[in-house]
Amino acid sequence: SQKIEQNSEALNIQEGKTATLTCNYTNYSPAYLQWYRQDPGRGPVFLLLIRENEKEKRKERLKVTFDTTLKQSLFHITASQPADSATYLCAPTLDNQGGKLIFGQGTELSVKP
């Protein structure tokens, strides 16, 4: 069955450093992969989408890579700020799922000033 794994332990980094979060998937080949941010008690907020034919995508301080050979996506936040503290969810998605999202368990990021 399809399986999605994210760093299970919380990630604690110092302000200004680069945070790197990992998303691994097994037993399927997603056509694209999305990253979301979720704050406590709130719904997820869309951040980035990367397709299987794209190696890398950037948006301001965010960068996502997608390695279909390793079945892995990396999510980077450069020059991290305390306001970046949140849980980050990845959702690798098949084309024929009608937009249905299956999320990883999320990685909690804490950026200390």
Closest separation in Å from C-beta 25 to other proteins = 14
Among residues 18 and 105, whose Cβ is nearest to other proteins? 105
- By CB under 8 A, name the binding residues for other proteins: 32, 34, 36, 41-46, 49, 89, 93, 95, 98-106
> Which pairing describes strands 45-51 and 107-112: parallel, antiparallel, or unpaired?
unpaired
Among residues 80 and 107, whose Cβ is nearest to other proteins? 107
Residue-by-residue DSSP string for 43-68 = --EEEEEEETT-SEEEETTEEEEEET
State the DSSP code for 71: T
Closest separation in Å from C-beta 44 to other proteins = 5
Closest separation in Å from C-beta 36 to other proteins = 8
Among residues 13 and 48, whose Cβ is nearest to other proteins? 48
Burial classification of residue 97, based on how many CB atoms lie within 10 Å of its CB (0-12 exposed, 13-18 middle, 19 or more buried): exposed
